Structure 1
């Protein structure tokens, strides 16, 4: 429709006539911003910058990534929800769409009403990691039981999948009760692991595996089955933890008032980008599976995970201010 409209407008211009009032304006007409709620080097930052590089080429306008870390990504998500310039998007994480409203009664945006869903971009299994000085396998969980509340775990913020995932893990391992320490992003959690301030974290492979391969951290297992992204890492089921399946993912959203022309073009172009073998290989090398779904595909993923998170949050009685 957009291409047909542009052709008709061109024909009107050649005829020396003004474009009719019904002609849709071209989009984008200026640089596009992608807001990310975490620091540089974080998982959504990597996804956003990979997308921005490719998207800028096809849109014919610069696509600029802006980091607005804080409140587990909710500051940036709120800014996207309230944007009115038709050129602001966001790369968000699981928690911003699936658990934030369940955890924060005063959340300033409504994930179900204030966004247009554009695409599920990338997914990755979560790797449970610990300092290399700790044992692996089933022995790790025995040490965690003995450590009790003297052990700490880190996450990129309250309400993130890494936070809730470790609460779910603790519920499945009797006697395991580490305390939560939230950070601004996963890179800061890695620093705390290396410094011994925390004893465990659930990390995406791109952040976990360089430290594991260098011998500084130990990979205890994957929150799910084995993965081609990290073929040498066993599943947590192999260490005795059953029915523990979680992924971290990043998605592209816009404000609910984003023009239909922008939504349609973005959905089309993002799907093409994520089918490109070079983009897929680049993301795989960084520890991510490229997905690039339709808006409906993202909607389905959100609904599925909301059910899991609602059950966990209710079971554990988790509430955040």
Structure 2
């Protein structure tokens, strides 16, 4: 005959087993293994509007990524603050199914430019892979006082030095790579044009054509299109060597600007809280996609030279750019608060 003690003991053991099983189940849902991931649709958050360069890149990856993962991949645009609203969304995500397509600033100097930024790029975002890089192109009006029509890059810089702060340059805003890049160029070349911010690169190009600006760093696609239309002149690319994205355009190093290598880039990042095994799996898949001929061609048409690095490779790029640009920001007292 079963005693009351035995019945009570069985009840306790059964309850304990149920609790252990529940805890194990909760653990599986909270931290899925890389083998079973993903278990639902994956989000790619983009901090820029539809049709923008980051948006196009994210959508280039969404379809092949969906096929490999066997789950829908949805691109969501969280627009504002130069991409930092989208970056914040990624940094705070805890569902293990959210990643982001970022530009340079979102993963390097965002908090240095504005301490009020609600995420820390170096602590809250985990690098996955550097997707594409591109130089900017130093561009100028076809005609401007003190510069001959057939002036080469060296003659252009000589005229810029002579003009000092009587010249001005345009950018899409304070703290953008066009702004920081030109300030870095000033320290490397000895020129001193004054910064004039605009709402975007097309507006900068229009101002140059109208004679309101004497120079600007523009994306290759825009610079090449305006030059081919006979509306602007191309001085040089900001990469250390020539670029296939701007055929025939010399590097600024050829014009005598030493120790200057500036590129814009985009990359995939995950929340730092995402399990490392899942991040590693995802990074490998994204690199595999980036290196396919079809995706490389699409990225080139969008204005990118494909890279497709390991997470460590992207982390090294972030470290290098953060160190160089943060020093410039502090020295020049640049802030977008």
Output the TM-score relative to the length of structure 1: 0.82
When residues 156 and 312 of structure 1 are mapped into structure 2, their CA distance, relative to the original with a 3 A threshold, is same
Secondary structure of the 1:122 match is strand
When residues 286 and 258 of structure 1 are mapped into structure 2, their CA distance, relative to the original with a 3 A threshold, is same
User: Which residue pairs with 2:171 in the alignment?
Assistant: 155
Quote the Cα distance in structure 2 between the aligned partners of 1:75 and 1:198: 31
Secondary structure of the 2:122 match is coil
Question: Which one of the candidate residues 210, 218, 221 is aligned to 2:236?
Answer: 221
Secondary structure of the 1:113 match is helix
Cα shift at 1:309: 1.2
User: Which residue pairs with 2:192 in the alignment?
Assistant: 176
Question: Which one of the candidate residues 80, 84, 91 is aligned to 1:70?
Answer: 80
Please, what is the CA RMSD of the aligned residues?
A: 2.7
Q: Runs of 5+ in structure 2 lacking a partner? A: 1-23
- Is the 1:129–1:221 Cα contact (8 Å) retained in structure 2? yes
Quote the Cα distance in structure 2 between the aligned partners of 1:54 and 1:190: 35
* Pairs within 5 Å for 1:165-204: 165-183=181-199, 185-187=200-202, 189-190=204-205, 192-193=207-208, 198-204=213-219
Cα shift at 1:58: 1.9
User: Which residue pairs with 2:221 in the alignment?
Assistant: 206
Q: Runs of 5+ in structure 1 lacking a partner? A: 1-19
User: Which residue pairs with 1:98 in the alignment?
Assistant: 108
The one-character-per-residue Cα deviations of 1:86-123 (angstroms, maximum 9, x if unpaired) are 33221111122222222212221111111111111111
Question: Which one of the candidate residues 290, 301, 314 is aligned to 1:274?
Answer: 290
Quote the Cα distance in structure 2 between the aligned partners of 1:69 and 1:154: 23
When residues 156 and 82 of structure 1 are mapped into structure 2, their CA distance, relative to the original with a 3 A threshold, is farther
Cα shift at 1:298: 0.8
Quote the Cα distance in structure 1 between the aligned partners of 2:40 and 2:267: 23
Quote the Cα distance in structure 2 between the aligned partners of 1:193 and 1:79: 36
Quote the Cα distance in structure 1 between the aligned partners of 2:99 and 2:277: 14
User: Which residue pairs with 2:247 in the alignment?
Assistant: 231
- Is the 2:169–2:193 Cα contact (8 Å) retained in structure 1? no
Question: Which one of the candidate residues 101, 109, 112 is aligned to 2:122?
Answer: 112
- Is the 2:179–2:195 Cα contact (8 Å) retained in structure 1? no
The one-character-per-residue Cα deviations of 1:172-207 (angstroms, maximum 9, x if unpaired) are 343522213053x54554455456554433233233
Quote the Cα distance in structure 2 between the aligned partners of 1:56 and 1:158: 37
User: Which residue pairs with 1:36 in the alignment?
Assistant: 46
Cα shift at 1:165: 0.5
- Is the 2:175–2:334 Cα contact (8 Å) retained in structure 1? no
Cα shift at 1:302: 0.8
Quote the Cα distance in structure 2 between the aligned partners of 1:182 and 1:105: 23
Cα shift at 1:41: 4.3
Question: Which one of the candidate residues 45, 52, 67 is aligned to 2:62?
Answer: 52
Quote the Cα distance in structure 2 between the aligned partners of 1:216 and 1:62: 44
- Is the 2:101–2:269 Cα contact (8 Å) retained in structure 1? yes
Quote the Cα distance in structure 1 between the aligned partners of 2:209 and 2:77: 25
Matched, 1:312 2:328: yes
User: Which residue pairs with 2:7 in the alignment?
Assistant: none
Output the TM-score relative to the length of structure 2: 0.78
Moved more, 222-231 or 152-161: 152-161
Quote the Cα distance in structure 1 between the aligned partners of 2:68 and 2:208: 40
Question: Which one of the candidate residues 92, 96, 112 is aligned to 1:86?
Answer: 96
Cα shift at 1:266: 1.3
User: Which residue pairs with 1:287 in the alignment?
Assistant: 303
The one-character-per-residue Cα deviations of 1:124-179 (angstroms, maximum 9, x if unpaired) are 12211233444552343355456655544333443232221111112234352221
User: Which residue pairs with 1:9 in the alignment?
Assistant: none
Q: Which has the larger radius of gyration?
A: 2
